A and B are shown apart, each in its own frame.
Chain A
Amino acid sequence: EAGVVQSPRYKIIEKKQPVAFWCNPISGHNTLYWYLQNLGQGPELLIRYENEEAVDDSQLPKDRFSAERLKGVDSTLKIQPAELGDSAVYLCASSLGAGGGTDTQYFGPGTRLTVL
């Protein structure tokens, strides 16, 4: 079974440029998550989707970050414009259920973003 797929794996951009990350979850997984992982830290949730609905975007900086999951399968996370402080690893995860307590999340390899 294929795992969570993310692309690109690495991205280097200059500040003020836009950038987009793509994620394809495990087949059949209804819930999709985007996380931010800074160096030396654990992942922090940015947004959670149940099918195509964003059910928790409270941690997403909406002034520059946006996300979509139009058909309830793959998802795109965008930053526009990027700032130096956005340099981090952006992780996508998916889970089978509705994100409840016993739902287990499976992670993709992440996209390492460097903003110059």
Chain B
Amino acid sequence: AQSVSQHNHHVILSEAASLELGCNYSYGGTVNLFWYVQYPGQHLQLLLKYFSGDPLVKGIKGFEAEFIKSKFSFNLRKPSVQWSDTAEYFCAVKSRVGTASKLTFGTGTRLQVTL
């Protein structure tokens, strides 16, 4: 069974600071990887996804993530955060094989950006 670990439960940063949120997954096969964001009072939105190709994936709002297969990691980064990035961030993994694959989420990281 696949699982996802997000080690940082709550991160507090000042505006303009750099961000890196950790995500590690456990699965023996080939996976597709996702980061979702949930802004306060809003629904889960897709931030970026990795299926294949360049392991450095760029998403919306200046976010990027790097897939490192040897480390089973898919960390999310942003060079300079803004107050509006305050949200909860979820990493998710899905098996690439078959139609019965399930999307498995991590427990989320709450990011608080202060002015």
At the interface with chain A, which of B12-20, B40-48, B67-75? B40-48
Contact (Cβ within 8 A) A56 B100: yes
Contact (Cβ within 8 A) B108 A102: no
Considering only residues 1-60 of chain B, those with a C-beta below 8 Å from chain A are 4, 30-32, 34, 36, 42-46, 49, 51
CB 8 Å contact bits of A89-116 with B (1 = contact, 0 = none): 0010100001111101111111000000
Count chain A residues whose beta carbon lies closer than 8 angstroms to a beta carbon of B: 25
Separation in Å of the B74 CB from the closest CB of chain A? 14
What is the chain A residue whose CB lies nearest that of B6? A42
B95: Cβ under 8 A from any A Cβ = yes
Contact (Cβ within 8 A) B103 A45: yes
Separation in Å of the A54 CB from the closest CB of chain B? 13
Contact (Cβ within 8 A) B42 A42: no
- Residues of A participating in the B interface, judged by any CB pair closer than 8 Å: 3-4, 40-45, 48, 55-56, 91, 93, 98-102, 104-110
21 pairs, CB–CB < 8 Å, chain A vs chain B: A4-B43, A42-B4, A42-B106, A42-B108, A43-B44, A43-B90, A44-B105, A45-B102, A45-B103, A55-B100, A56-B102, A98-B99, A99-B101, A101-B30, A101-B94, A101-B96, A102-B51, A105-B103, A107-B36, A109-B42, A110-B43
